[in-house]
C-alpha cells in the first residue's frame, strides 16, 4: 500500500512540474505575477480609449470601445431625463396657479362686432406650419427620452419598437422643416419685435393681467410677445443647428461633436417646450379673443384697443374707423 502511495505522489509531483514548466514556456517573462489580473488590466486599457491598428480609415475605428458614449448616456439618462419631468410639471403647475388666482384676461367692454385685420394668410400658414411641426417634434422627442421608462411598461416592447421606428423618421424629417420655418419667421417678424423702452412698462402688470392701473401702451407686438419671439428664435436656431448635426452625420463631425450636440439639443428642446406652455396658455384660454387673431386673421376692435392700443390707432386711421 505504501508503495502505491509513493508511486501516486511521484506521478502527481511530475505532472505538477511539467504543467508549471509548460506555462512558463508559453507565457515567458510576461507571466502574470501573483495578485495581478491581466485580463482586468487589458479591459481597463480598452475602456480608457487606447488606440490600436485597423485597416479602416473611418474616424474613431482605431478605438475598440468609445467610452465617451457611456459618459453621454449618463448625462442623457441622468440630469436631462431626471430634471425634465420636474421642470415641465413645475411650469404646468405655475400656469394652473396663475389661472386660479388671476383668471382669464377678459375683454373689458362688450364686443363691438368690428373686425380688425391682424395676421395675413401667409403669416397664419407660417405660424401653424411651424407650430404643427413643433408638436410632432415634442411628442417624438419626449418618446425617445422617456420611452423605455414609460411607454415600454405601458404598451410592450413590440408596440414601442414599431412606434419609435416611425417616430424617429417623423422626428428626423420634421426637424429640418421646422428649422426652415423658424428662419422664415425670423425674416417675417424680426422687424416688429425690436425691443423698445415702453416694452419694459408692459412687465409691471403683465399688460394689465395682474395688479391695478391702466393697461400699458403697445404697438402691434407687446413686450411679452417680443420676449417669446426672441426666445423662440434662439431656441429654434440652437435646436435646429444641433439637430442638423445629428440628422446628417456626413459633415465629418466626430462622435464627441455629436454627443455634445445631442446634450445641447435635448436640453434646449426641454426648455423650448416648457416656455411654449406659457405661449399656448396666453394664446388660448389665458386672454379672451387672442386665439381669433391667429386662427381667423382678425380680432375684435375692443381687443385691439385693450391689448395693442397704438397699433389699433394706426389701423383705425387706415380703415377710417375712428379711435372711439
pLDDT tens sequence across 112-145:
999 999 999 999 999 999 999 999 999 999 999 9
Q: How many domains does the chain have?
A: 1
In a domain, 228, yes or no: yes
Our measurement of the distance from residue 209's CA atom to the centroid of its chain's CA atoms, rounded to an integer in Å, reads 30
Please determine, for residue 213, whether its predicted confidence score (pLDDT) is greater than 90. no
In a domain, 246, yes or no: yes
Domain CATH code at residue 281 = 1.20.950.20
In a domain, 276, yes or no: yes
In a domain, 161, yes or no: no
* Single pTM value for the model: 0.80
pLDDT tens readout for residues 182-192: 999 999 999 99
Give the position of cell 410632432. Answer: 136
Domain that holds residue 251: 88-118+190-319
Please determine, for residue 12, whether its predicted confidence score (pLDDT) is greater than 60. no
Picking from 119, 102, 51, the residue whose alpha carbon sits closest to that of residue 299 is 119
pLDDT tens readout for residues 31-82: 445 556 777 777 676 666 666 666 666 666 666 676 777 888 888 989 999 9
Which residues lie below 8 Å from residue 79, measured CB to CB, with a gap of 6+? none
pLDDT-derived band at 288 (thresholds 50, 70, 90) equals very high
pLDDT given at position 323 = 61
pLDDT-derived band at 255 (thresholds 50, 70, 90) equals confident
In a domain, 56, yes or no: no
In a domain, 43, yes or no: no
Q: Cβ of 167: how many Cβ atoms within 10 Å?
A: 20
In a domain, 263, yes or no: yes
End-to-end CA, the chain? 127
Looking at the chain, how many residues does it have? 324
In a domain, 18, yes or no: no
Amino acid at each position: 500500500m505504501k508503495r502505491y502511495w509513493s508511486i501516486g505522489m511521484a506521478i502527481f509531483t511530475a505532472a505538477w512540474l511539467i504543467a508549471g514548466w509548460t506555462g512558463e514556456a508559453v507565457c515567458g517573462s510576461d507571466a502574470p505575477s501573483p495578485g495581478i489580473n491581466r485580463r482586468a488590466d487589458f479591459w481597463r486599457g480598452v475602456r480608457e480609449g487606447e488606440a490600436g491598428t485597423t485597416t479602416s480609415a473611418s474616424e474613431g475605428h482605431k478605438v475598440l470601445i468609445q467610452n465617451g458614449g457611456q459618459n453621454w448616456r449618463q448625462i442623457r439618462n441622468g440630469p436631462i431625463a431626471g430634471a425634465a419631468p420636474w421642470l415641465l410639471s413645475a411650469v404646468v403647475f405655475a400656469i394652473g396657479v396663475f389661472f386660479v388666482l388671476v383668471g382669464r384676461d377678459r375683454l373689458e367692454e362688450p364686443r363691438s362686432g368690428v373686425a380688425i385685420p391682424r395676421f395675413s394668410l401667409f403669416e397664419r400658414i407660417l405660424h401653424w406650419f411651424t407650430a404643427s411641426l413643433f408638436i410632432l417634434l415634442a411628442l417624438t422627442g419626449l418618446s425617445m427620452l422617456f420611452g423605455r421608462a414609460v411607454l415600454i411598461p405601458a404598451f410592450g416592447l413590440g408596440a414601442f419598437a414599431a412606434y419609435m421606428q416611425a417616430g424617429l423618421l417623423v422626428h428626423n424629417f420634421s426637424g429640418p422643416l421646422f428649422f426652415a420655418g423658424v428662419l422664415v419667421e425670423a425674416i417675417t417678424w424680426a422687424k416688429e419685435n425690436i425691443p423698445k423702452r415702453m416694452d419694459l412698462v408692459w412687465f409691471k402688470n403683465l399688460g394689465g393681467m395682474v395688479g391695478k392701473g391702466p393697461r400699458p401702451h403697445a404697438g402691434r407686438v407687446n413686450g411679452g410677445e417680443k420676449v417669446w419671439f426672441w426666445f423662440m428664435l434662439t431656441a429654434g436656431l440652437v435646436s435646429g443647428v444641433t439637430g442638423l448635426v445629428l440628422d446628417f452625420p456626413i459633415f465629418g463631425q466626430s462622435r464627441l461633436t455629436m454627443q455634445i450636440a445631442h446634450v445641447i439639443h435635448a436640453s434646449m428642446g426641454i426648455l423650448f417646450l416648457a416656455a411654449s406652455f406659457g405661449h399656448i396658455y396666453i394664446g388660448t384660454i389665458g386672454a379672451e379673443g387672442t386665439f381669433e387673431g391667429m386662427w381667423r386673421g382678425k380680432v375684435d376692435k375692443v381687443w385691439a384697443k385693450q391689448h395693442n392700443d397704438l397699433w389699433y390707432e394706426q389701423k383705425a386711421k387706415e380703415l377710417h374707423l375712428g379711435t372711439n
